[in-house]
Amino acid sequence: MKKKIQNIIENFGLPRIIIFLFLVLLFILTPFVGIRFDTSINDIIVRFGMNGILVLSLIPMVKTGCGLNFGLQLGIIAGILGAVISIEMEMIGFTGFFTAIGIAIFFAVIFGFLYGLLLNKVKGDEMVVATYVGFSSVSFMSIMWLMLPFKSPNMIWAYGGSGLRTTINTKGYWFHVLTDFLKIKIGNYIFFPSGTILFFAFLTFLVWAFFKTKIGTAMIVVGSNTDYANSCGINVDKMRSISVILSTVIAAIGIIVYQESFGFIQLYTAPLFMAFPAVAALLLGGATVGKASIKNVIIGVFLFQSILTMTPSVVSNIIKSDMSETIRIILSNGMIVYALTRITRVRT
C-alpha cells in the first residue's frame, strides 16, 4: 500500500499533488467565504476557452524534442499583427476574425521558419535561446508598433502622437464572435461559450489528426529517439522545423482567440511574459520537458485556470488582501523550475 502511494506520488509529481489538493481546498472553501460557486465555474470555462489554444500550441515542439517553447511570443506577435491589420482593414464579425487568423498564419509561417532555422543551429540549448528570442522580438515589435504606419483611429493615440495604443479594443470588430456563437445560457450566472470551446476542440482535433499522418508520425519518431529517426532516414532538422512552424501558427491563432474573448489587443510589453503561464499550465497537466500530450493540455489548462480564478476570490476573502499575483508567480514559475530539474531522457 505504502509503495503504491509512493508510486503515485512519483508518477504524478509532488508539486502537482500539492496544487491539486490546494485547488480542492479552494473549492471546499468557496461557500464559506460567500462566493457563488456557479460564477466561479463559469469563469473557469471562459478562461479555459481563452487560454486553451495557446497551451495547445506548445505540443508540436515538445513532440519533436525541441523542448518547451519559451519563444511562444513569436506566435503571439504574428497573431497581433493579424489582429491589428484586420482592424486596419475595417473587417468586422467573423470575416474580421478569420481575416485576422489568415494574416496571422502568414506571418507565423515566416517567423516560425526563421525561428526553426535558429533552433536547429542551437540543438541542446533551445530553451534558453528561445526565451531570449521571445523577449527580444517582443521588445523589437514595441519599436515597430510605434513606427508602423497604421491609420485606423480606433488604434492610434487619440491626441496626435504616432504609433499604436497600448491596448486596442476589439469591440465593434470581432469581439466575442466565437464566444457568442451558439452560446448557451444556463440561469442568470452561467453561460457556456460553445463557439470558443468548439473552436478549441476543432484545433485539438487537427493537431491529433496531424500526428496520425506520415509527417506527424515522423515527428513523433524524431522526438522519441533522434538516433532511431536518423536510422530510419528521417530528416530530423526538417521535422523539427515543421514542428516549430506549427507551434508558432497555433500560438498566433491562440492569441487571436484570446483577444476575441478578452476584448482587447494588448501591445508593447504585454506579451513579454506570456510564454510562462502557458508552459506552466502544460506542465501542471502532467507534461515533462520531453513529453506532452493533448490530455496534458486539457487537464493543465483546467487546473491552472481554476487556481487563477479561485485564489483571488477565496484567499482575498480570507486574509483581506490580494495574494493572487504572488501565488501565480510562485505557482507557475515553481512548476517550470521543477520540470527543468527533473531530467527525463527518452533514451535509457
Site residues (vs other proteins, CB under 8 A) = 70, 118, 121-125, 127-129, 131-133, 135-136, 139-140, 142-143, 146-147, 161-163, 212-215, 217-218, 220-221, 224-225, 227-228, 230-235, 268-269, 276, 321, 323, 325-331, 333-334, 336-337, 340-343, 346-348
Concatenated DSSP letters of 290-328: S---HHHHHHHHHHHHHHHHHHHHHHHHHHSS--HHHHH
Tell me the residue type at 47: R
Shortest distance, CB of residue 170 to other proteins, whole angstroms?
24
Report, in Å, the least distance between residue 147 CB and other proteins: 7
Nearest distance from residue 334's CB to other proteins, in Å?
A: 5
Could you tell me the smallest distance in angstroms from the CB atom of residue 329 to other proteins? 3
How many alpha carbons fall within 13 Å on the CB side of residue 44? 24
Integer angstrom CA distances of residue 302 from 72, 281, 299, 347: 20, 8, 5, 31
Considering the complex, state which of residue 197 and residue 203 has its C-beta at the smaller distance from other proteins. 203
Question: Using alpha carbons only, how large is the chain's radius of gyration in Å?
Answer: 21
Residues 6+ apart with CB under 8 A from 231: none
Instruction: Indicate the SS3 state at residue 348.
Output: coil
Nearer to other proteins, 168 or 257 (CB): 168
The residue (of 17 and 346) whose beta carbon lies closer to other proteins is 346
Nearer to other proteins, 185 or 345 (CB): 345
Q: How far is the CB of 313 from other proteins (least distance, A)?
A: 18
In a 3-state reduction of DSSP, which class is residue 264? strand
- Give 98 or 211: the residue with its C-beta nearer to other proteins: 211
Tell the smallest beta-carbon distance from residue 38 to other proteins (Å): 30
272 phi and psi, to 5 degrees?
-50, -50
* Helices 2-12, 14-29: crossing angle, 10 deg rounding: 90
Rank residues 149 and 187 by Cβ distance to other proteins and give the closer one: 149
Q: How far apart are CB 166 and other proteins at their closest, in Å?
A: 11
Cell numbers standing for residue 223: 522526438
Q: Are 245 and 116 in contact (CB under 8 A)?
A: yes
81 or 127: CB nearest other proteins: 127
